[in-house]
Amino acid sequence: MYKKFFIQTFGCQMNEHDSEVMAGLLEEIFYIPTTDIAEADFILLNTCCIREKAESKVLSMLGEMKKYKAKKPDLIIGVCGCMIQQKNIVPKILHASPYVSLMFGTNNMNKLPDYLQQIAKTSQPIYEIVDEDSDADLKLPASRQFPFKAYTNIMYGCNNYCTYCIVPFVRGRERSRRMDDIVEEVRGLAADGVVEIMLLGQNVDSYGNDFEEDVSFADLLREVDKIDGIKRIRFMTSHPKDFSLELIDVIKNSWHICPSLHLPVQSGSNEVLKRMNRKYTREHYLDIVNNIRAAIPDVSLTTDIIVGFPGETEEMFQETVDLVETVGFDNAFSFIYSKRPGTAAAKFPDDTPLAEKKERLQRLNQSLSKWSHHHNKKYEGKIVEVLVEGTSKNDDNMLSGRTDTAKTVIFPGDKSLVGKFVNVKITTAQTWILKGKLEEKE
């Protein structure tokens, strides 16, 4: 008898990929996925703890689980991922939601099938958090969300200890996967029909630094670029302190690496950058941007920015706005600083009221959306190649896909085109999306 599972994923692509791996593990023990949470026999929340809001969402969703458990006493409710890897979180969750019967962190998700089998046998809950870092060479199956695009982890963990960030505490030290294993995995994905690959790591530019031999991220990209069938290569996340000129060269001279770079700047103020422990200056960041644009003129640049870091004054914030105006990003994720217990910045004095931080975020977002619209406008009248990802969220007759520069394009078309490359003529540029119509390929 098949059992049904429902996984809710919070947070970044790394978590999304972990959920794909866990779905793959579950399918090996005869669980099948369901999109209807009410009919699931196993509900798993794969959590994120990067900001307080991410945690509150998990806690409130756990509260809603109570009604499902009341209706179906055999239901197993599990919580896993980054949030669980933090100190003292298990008792906190159990206090609020005692019906949670499985909790595990990021280092032991490979044991999920064992845990479920044990719970089925003994009816006893399992809460297991493993502190040491998991084996970076572990090969696990993945049940992919999309047949035509896939994530591949190239490394785990982060050594950077940016002072605001909880990731190094929950994801451990940097561990790179062997290049041969990555290449073999991507070849397998290509053979399986995957045309777009996203290489994942917290800081991909330091790939290979933990190896004795001299292997860099640029070397890895050159190898992945040679794999037949992979038409688009993306990667995230880069760190400005490690971003090399060699990398720019590899991207420029590659066949398949997309001209689309996500390079988090976090702040435009040198003082704030210093206290964030980012290890680069605004001048260095602007230099990288100039080098990238000189080599790859049609590149699309995106970033992450934190507003209201402890001690950020209005002048320091203005330096961030000024940097945004200087670079003119294609898109950006902007966040209000969220205090994470255990990080260095949690002890920094922070006297800016939240209302003021919110107001700064609004001003920043105005500048960001202005630039996004500006870049999108340049596409009007052009024909772009789009990989169709699915139907539009709001309209089943519309398709949604992406350009190599990661712009979302919405256009009328038939579902049979999902997973295919098509040419689309852009008719209207909006702030965050492009609209267009299909062009016949000659």
Which positions touch ligand 5AD (CB under 6 A)? 50-51, 164-165, 264, 266, 304, 306, 335, 337-338, 340
Structure tokens at 220: 């890895």
Q: Considering beta carbons, is residue 157 or 401 the nearer one to ligand SF4?
A: 157
Q: Which residues contact 212 (CB under 8 A, 6 or more apart)?
A: none
Helical residues (DSSP H) of 234-353, grouped into ranges: 245-253, 270-275, 282-295, 314-327
Cis upstream peptide for 237 (omega within 30°): yes
Q: Considering beta carbons, is residue 335 or 421 the nearer one to ligand 5AD?
A: 335
Backbone angles phi, psi at 399, to 5 degrees: -100, 155
Rounded least distance, CB 166 to ligand 5AD, Å:
7
Which residue type is seen at 130?
V
Nearest to 200 by CA among 184, 217, 212: 217
Residue 256's binding partner out of ligand 5AD, ligand SF4, none, with CB under 5 to 8 Å set by partner kind:
none
Residue 89's binding partner out of ligand SF4, ligand 5AD, none, with CB under 5 to 8 Å set by partner kind:
none
Question: For the range 393-397, what are the long-range contacts, defined as Cβ-Cβ under 8 Å and sequence gap of 24 or more?
Answer: none
Rounded least distance, CB 165 to ligand 5AD, Å:
4
Q: Considering beta carbons, is residue 320 or 408 the nearer one to ligand 5AD?
A: 320
Q: Which residues contact 135 (CB under 8 A, 6 or more apart)?
A: none
Rounded least distance, CB 168 to ligand SF4, Å:
5
Residue 168's binding partner out of ligand SF4, ligand 5AD, none, with CB under 5 to 8 Å set by partner kind:
ligand SF4
Which position's Cβ is nearest ligand 5AD?
304
Residue 160's binding partner out of ligand SF4, ligand 5AD, none, with CB under 5 to 8 Å set by partner kind:
ligand SF4
Residue 206's binding partner out of ligand SF4, ligand 5AD, none, with CB under 5 to 8 Å set by partner kind:
none
Rounded least distance, CB 336 to ligand 5AD, Å:
7
Strand-strand pairing, 149-153 and 126-128:
unpaired
Q: Considering beta carbons, is residue 42 or 280 the nearer one to ligand SF4?
A: 280
Q: Considering beta carbons, is residue 177 or 340 the nearer one to ligand SF4?
A: 340
Rounded least distance, CB 345 to ligand 5AD, Å:
7
State the DSSP H helix or E strand holding residue 31, giving kind and residue range, or none if neither.
Answer: strand 31-33
| Residue 196 and residue 149 in contact, taking contact as beta carbons nearer than 8 Å | yes
Residue ranges that bind ligand SF4, judged by CB under 6 A: 158, 160-162, 165, 167-168, 202-203, 239
Q: Considering beta carbons, is residue 332 or 386 the nearer one to ligand 5AD?
A: 332
174, 209, 219, 290, 298 from 214: Cα distances, Å: 16, 8, 9, 28, 31
Rounded least distance, CB 346 to ligand 5AD, Å:
9
| Residue 260 and residue 406 in contact, taking contact as beta carbons nearer than 8 Å | yes
Rounded least distance, CB 239 to ligand SF4, Å:
5
Residue 365's binding partner out of ligand 5AD, ligand SF4, none, with CB under 5 to 8 Å set by partner kind:
none
| Residue 130 and residue 107 in contact, taking contact as beta carbons nearer than 8 Å | yes
